[in-house]
Structure 1
């Protein structure tokens, strides 16, 4: 089957997926994105094409180590799965678990990459809420009458302190 027909079939299937799908060329510039990607990122396809995803999606709180891991994966044509804090066109952050895989021609030449994104923002918000509740419960335990409360281990104190002072996910989503 000619590659053009395969490409069209792939795009038709990928356009129906609920996961965000992005295709890039060998230089990691966007050539195509499905509706789920356009909805998640807030961009129109014509705004994305020819640009690196990093230019559109990374922002002030995106982890530089994650960005470097992605860059290394692309430079070396390697598969990568990671989670990243990305930004919608309007500026609000969202978490995404991404899988990046190289696309190779029959000759073995790398022709691009496919990126699949799963929005994990709601999971992050739930974890943040549970951690906040744990800190509140811990605080209430500490302020209660010492004779009435069970003894707290040093590891409990340490875990609560880490939760209390940890960098929080932006809650203004």
Structure 2
């Protein structure tokens, strides 16, 4: 509805005079798929982050401010280290949802952009009936997801215990 040829985005740009009478097609590109997925999954990033930030003791922030830390330094040295488990969990949840999504690439212009890996797996199982290749692709997706999770945990220096709190 937003990215359609007669959608909200093109109507707004035409009203502002940015584009002419022939509006561009926003749908049917990988960029539009990324935009739709970011719009759909932003809450799945915000919930773990807000949950983690809700446990932050305000006296720590006040103590840092009383000791003369600037706003940026308080965020960098107090808030961000406390929020690392929430950021890691949000990144993992959004990645896992994005890795397995089939509907967004189908809805945002089926056949007009390269297939996503989840679409390839779906087609191997249900369109061609090649269960062996579909299973192999599914195991590859599972392995890449596990590697991604381990990389995120390592990058944020967060353990599973910290995320489970």
After TM superposition, the score normalised by the length of structure 1 is: 0.21
Which structure has more helix as a fraction of its residues?
A: 2
Which structure has more strand as a fraction of its residues?
A: 1
